[in-house]
Every structure is written in structure tokens, then in C-alpha cells.
Homo-oligomer: A and B are copies of this chain.
């Protein structure tokens, strides 16, 4: 496999079909392929050798797709930078990956200059915007114009295709190394389900640096389907693109889906003028979804199929898929709609205990995944790689179980699971119970040391502005919803929770003071 293969095939077989819709303009496969071959030539001219890293920091655009193809075409390695990160995090990723080139758009041109000055390895800063090229930068369009199209470097198979940095809630980001085969095999498995095919028009509404979106990019290039690109997600831009470009498929994070539904509710007039009839599938994932939201979405889009993907960057990215057949009345009633799904095609999933032994159905353990989609490893971190990938199995760090039907349910991060009096307690379950209390804004549940029980359940709560609740009220609320041993023994109210740059709650920061005391024998 090689990432550029599908583009070659489409340029040969359907040169005049539309490859990309972006801001009212269309680019055919022939045009795209020509621009990509020239951009690859320019990159090569700037010193990109086989395996050299090229970073991009940009909101969504047609140029982002060109970058996705031109870097491997030139023999380079992608480093699509998380646009939500702090400049310190981005700098870390640029330095860690030793990226030679940084490409920025109009949104990030100022930051780009700062980063290029500070990053040790960045030799060239390319401006891929629509205005005047700022001083000290190379013009993306001029580079393409001046360059000759080159032959594809044909990096392939287990060759490194990209380094995708994952945030994570502990320490600095890790660079996940994915090969051409990792990305290709994962994309093919997608295509085997009939999604992202040649007749698809897929809307890139998620940020294009995100692997959940990049997976669709890869699949569409293989099949020859059409890319529809919007600069960034807004409910209106999304709905208008669906209506205008006859979008058939979209992938959204649950929060985006919520925003979409809220907007539609608030703008019934606008909603009526938009034509959603082309939309066949809404994929969702990247974080847990509430059944309420999912049901609401199904009611809003009654003719559209829904599918959930569960995975992680290290899996390029899918582990399981909950297909449309589990988005029925029956699946809702039986609770199967809460599952993360069944092992994706070409992916093996098992649930293991701490000694890597498979546990019986229904028993919670760590979700482990094996297949051609499992990453090459973490960039420059052989120990972390060896810890995560053992015997070919990627250990996800997610706790979950498999039911008799083979459906997999994610219950918690393994390290967030609490063992109290010999019982496993999943912080996520307790958090759901607490969150349903009307006064609760945000909450996090952790295990704190207990001489008697090993750990006990502790809740940290941020109340909604102006709302009032006591610890006893929270506990009483929980007792009506979950078993007594799962209810928080102690409750703490705070003004805010410690959050990572992508909004994940930093539970380690919450746990630290309790367990440090424990470490000092203070219990």
C-alpha cells in the first residue's frame, strides 16, 4: 500500500471527475494530481529527502489535502499539527519530530513565524494562505507554479507515512508513527463496509489534522470519492455544505453533533431551506456519546444511518464499529446502542487481564487490539512502544468488556477505574450518575486511598453558575441511580477542574495530592 496510490488511479481513470469541493471551487483529479506532483517537486527542491518530516498548521482547506498527498509523493513524512494546542505544545512536536518544513495558513501565519524562529530544525516556512506572502516565508502557490511535477517517491508498505501527535492527559504528547500500510489497511477496512466509496461525497467538518478525519481522507483517495471541505466546523457551514455539495457522509464528534442539533432547533426557518436528503451516514466518535443526544440526532435525521467508530491514533484509528444495525429501536431498548461496537474488519479485539490472559465474556479488562492497523510505535520512545504493543497487541489503556454477542463496551480508562472493597467501579458510570443532578456543571470521580477499602470513591464537582447542592444531596441523588458501593464516599466542590488543552479533565492532577500523602504513609 501507499497513500498516493488512489490519487494516481483516479487521475488515470477519472481525470475530469471532481476530487475536491472547497469554497465554491472544484478541483478535478487531474488538476489535483498535477498540483500535488508539483508541490512534491518543490518540497524535494527544498531538501525533503525520504523520511523527512513536513509539518502543517492550518485550518481546513483544499491545500490541506494537497499537503496530505504531496508529502508522501515527495517521500516525506506528514506531521499534521493539532491546531488547538498551545504554542509550547506545537513547538514540542516540531522539535521532537525534527520537522524540516512548516506550512501555515492565514490563521496561523503569525504563530508560524514565532514557531519557525524557536524550533531548532525548521528550515523553511511556507505560507499557504490567500493574501500577500509575509516576509521570511515562501509562497505555496509560487512554489507550485515554479516546480516541475516529479515522479512519486513510492514510499510504501511499512515505510513511515506520518507522525501523529496525541495529546494525552499525562506529560508531553507522544508521536504516533503510522506506516503506509497502517493507514491503507485501516482505510480499506472502512471501504469494505461500503462507506467512503467512489460515489461518496464526504464532508471534512472535523479538523483535518485529526486522525479521525484523516482516515476518511485516506479512504476517499483509495475509492476516488469526493472531498467536500469547509474551513472549520460551524453548524451553518456544515449544513450549507451538505445541502450545496450533496454530501453523503460526515463524521462528527458528539459535541459537534450537539451543536448541530441545537442550531437546527434555534433556526427552524433556515433549517427548512436546507436540503439534507443526500446525507446517508453520520459517523460519530472520538469521545463518548449520550443516548439522549444520539436519539435526538436520529429523530432529526430519520433517513440517515448512524455508525459509531471507537479507536485511537495508535490504531490508525479504528478498533470497533457500531454499525447502523445497532442503531435501532431494539438496540436502544436492549442497551446495545451503548456499545462501542464489534471489532472492525481486519481487526482482532480481545479483553485481557493484567497478565494478558483473555477474560470471560462480561468481565471487564483492558481492550487489546491486533491487526495491520497497529502503529509502528511511538517516535523516539521505544520503551513506551514496548509497553503499549506487546505480542502485536496494542494495549489501549481502555477498560471494557465483551458481551455474549461479541459487542464491546468501553467502561473507563483502566487507570481511572477504582477498586473499592474488591469491587470494580468505573468512574465514568459514577460521573454519569452525578452529572444527571441538575445543579452539577462538571464532575470528575477518582479513587482515593482508604485503609479499609483500598480505595474509596471521591467526587470533585463544579456546580452550575448560581446553583446550589450539598454533598449529601449529591450522594442521595446517586444512591437512587447506582449501587451503594459505587456512590461517592466523599464530595468536594471546586470552582474549576484542571483541563488539558483539548479539554480533557486531568484526573492525575486531582489524584496526586491524595496519593502523594499515601506515598508518605499519611493515608
A residues bordering B, Cβ < 8 Å?
1, 5-6, 8-9, 12-14, 154, 156-158, 181, 184-185, 188-189, 191-192, 194, 197, 222-223, 342-343, 345-348, 350, 370-372, 391-392, 406
Please tell me if the beta carbons of A406 and B192 are within 8 angstroms of each other in the complex: no
Chain B residues lying within 8 Å of A350, measured Cβ to Cβ, are 12
Please state if B343 and A1 are interface contacts (CB–CB under 8 Å). Answer: no
CB-nearest residue of chain B to A151: B391
From the candidates B8, B188, B343, name the one contacting A13 in the complex (CB within 8 A).
B343
Question: Could you tell me if B181 and A372 are in contact, using CB atoms closer than 8 angstroms?
Answer: yes
Q: A235 vs B222: C-alpha distance in the bound complex, in angstroms?
A: 39
A348 to B185, Cβ gap below 8 A?
Answer: no
B5 near A348 (CB under 8 angstroms)? yes
Of the candidates B188, B347, B406, the one whose C-beta lies within 8 Å of that of A189 is: B188
- Asked if A342 contacts B13 (CB within 8 A), the reply is yes
Given A189-B188, A372-B1: A9 and B222 within 8 A (CB)? no
In the bound complex, CA of A388 to CA of B405 (Å): 48
Docked pose: A346 CA to B188 CA in angstroms: 9
Separation of A181 and B158 alpha carbons in the complex (Å):
11
Closest B residue to A391 using CB positions? B154
Query: Smallest Cβ distance from A14 to chain B, in angstroms?
Result: 8
Question: B372 near A157 (CB under 8 angstroms)?
Answer: yes
Which residues of chain B have C-beta atoms less than 8 A from A12's C-beta?
343, 348, 350, 406
In addition to A1-B346, A13-B342, A13-B406, 12 A-B residue pairs with Cβ atoms within 8 Å of each other are A5-B346, A5-B348, A5-B370, A5-B371, A154-B370, A154-B391, A157-B158, A185-B188, A191-B192, A192-B192, A194-B194, A223-B345
A371 to B360, CA, bound (A): 41
CA A163 to CA B156, docked complex, whole Å: 23
Contact A156 B392 (CB under 8 A): yes
Q: Judge whether B184 and A346 touch: CB under 8 Å.
A: yes
Chain B proximity of A221: nearest CB distance (Å): 11
C-alpha spacing A347/B5, complex, angstroms: 8
Min CB distance A285 to B, Å, is 20
User: Could you list 5 A-B pairs, sorted by A, with CB under 8 Å?
Assistant: A1-B346, A12-B348, A13-B406, A184-B346, A191-B345
Name the CB-closest residue of B to A4.
B348
Question: Within the oligomer, what is the number of copies of this chain?
Answer: 2
**A191-B187 Cα distance, complex, nearest whole Å:** 13
In the complex, which of the residues B1, B5, B6, B348 contacts A8, with contact meaning CB atoms closer than 8 Å? B348
In the bound assembly, the distance between CA atoms of A345 and B1 in angstroms comes to 11
Instruction: Say how far A451's CB is from chain B's closest CB, in angstroms.
Output: 42
Kindly state the separation between the CA atoms of A406 and B29 in the bound complex, as whole angstroms. 14
Contacts of A192 in B (CB 8 A): 188, 191-192, 197, 222-223
Task: Give the residues in chain B near A191, CB-CB below 8 Å.
Answer: 192, 345
Name the CB-closest residue of B to A6.
Answer: B346
Q: Which 6 residue pairs of A and B lie closest in terms of their CB atoms, listed nearest first? A: A13-B406, A188-B188, A1-B372, A191-B192, A8-B348, A192-B192
Question: Which residues of the other chain, B, contact A9 by a CB distance below 8 angstroms?
Answer: 343, 347-348
Please measure, in the bound complex, the distance between the C-alpha atom of A189 and the C-alpha atom of B157, giving whole angstroms: 16
Task: Give Cα A402 to B184, complex, Å.
Answer: 26
Which B residues touch A156, using CB under 8 A? 372, 392
- A154–B392 contact, CB under 8 A? yes
Known: A12-B406, A185-B1. A346 touches B222 (CB 8 A): yes
What chain B residues lie within 8 Å of A223 (beta carbons)?
192, 345
- Once the chains are docked, how many angstroms separate the CA of A420 from the CA of B67? 49
A154 nearest CB neighbor, chain B only:
B392
Cα A12 to Cα B402 in complex, Å, equals 10
How long is the Cα–Cα vector from A345 to B188 in the complex, in angstroms?
A: 10
List residues of chain B with CB within 8 A of the CB of A392: 154, 156
Roughly how many angstroms separate A140 CA and B94 CA in the complex, as a whole number?
A: 59
- In the assembly, what is the distance between CA of A281 and CA of B371, in Å? 30
CA distance A371 to B350 in the complex (A): 31
Compute how far the CA of A370 lies from the CA of B6 in the bound complex, rounded to whole angstroms: 12
Distance in Å from the Cβ of A152 to the closest Cβ of chain B? 10
Chain B residues with Cβ below 8 Å from A181 are 157, 181, 372
Q: Which residues of chain B come closer than 8 Å to A13, judged between CB atoms?
A: 342-343, 406
Q: CA separation between A223 and B191, bound complex, in Å? A: 13
A188 to B342, CA, bound (A): 18
Q: A302 to nearest B CB, angstroms?
A: 26
Nearest B residue (CB) for A372:
B1
Give every chain B residue within 8 A of A185 (Cβ-Cβ). Answer: 1, 184-185, 188
